Amino acid sequence: MAMAAQVEAAMKSTLPNTPVTNAQPLEQVVADSVSGRTFPMQLLACFAVVALVLAAVGIAGVVSYGVTQRTQEIGIRMAFGANARDVLRMIVGGSMRWVVIGVGVGVVASLAATRLLEVLLFDVKAGDPRVLGAMAAVLAVVAFAASYLPARRATRVDPMVALRYE
């Protein structure tokens, strides 16, 4: 913007009949051209983060409830020689099976939804494998962490206490 007056003077000396108005930096012109699309995308991103947090809390709650319901079974398994790694693998593996099914269904559903949202996306084609893979990986990592915490708590079950649980 510091050079706007000089550019305007040069334009008037070269092309006196050409009006120069509303000089703006290119960054401002680009920002103005995409501002109508950025707010809806920022809003969708906020909703996506809230949905991810809710999914993590939901997965942790369901796995925690399942661990509570299976406390006696876990105690019996540990009394018969199962170690903490076996219990952890059993609980996390069981929940990750459902996560894989959910991510698979979600990828198929997102392929249909991105056709509708393609107008709002920049440099992303509907069904972009990098984006779908990254989102599937993020969901899988969050689901793993959400199921790992209750499963880790289950590995600390004392077999004698669990056998007296009910």
The predicted structure's pLDDT at residue 166:
57
Listed residue (164, 162, 5, 165) closest to 77, CA to CA: 162
% of the chain at pLDDT higher than 90? 31
pLDDT in tens, 6-38: 777 777 788 778 777 777 777 777 777 777 777
Contact 86, 155 (CB under 8 A): no
Averaged pLDDT for residues 103-110: 89
Contact 95, 63 (CB under 8 A): yes
Kindly indicate the confidence band of residue 123, based on its pLDDT and cuts at 50, 70 and 90: low
pLDDT in tens, 39-73: 888 898 899 999 999 999 999 999 999 888 888 88
Rounded to two decimals, the pTM is 0.68
Query: 3-class SS at 126?
Result: coil
CA distances from 17 to 12, 13, 14, 24, 157 (A): 7, 10, 9, 20, 86
pLDDT at position 121 over 70: no
162 alpha carbon, distance to own chain's centre: 36
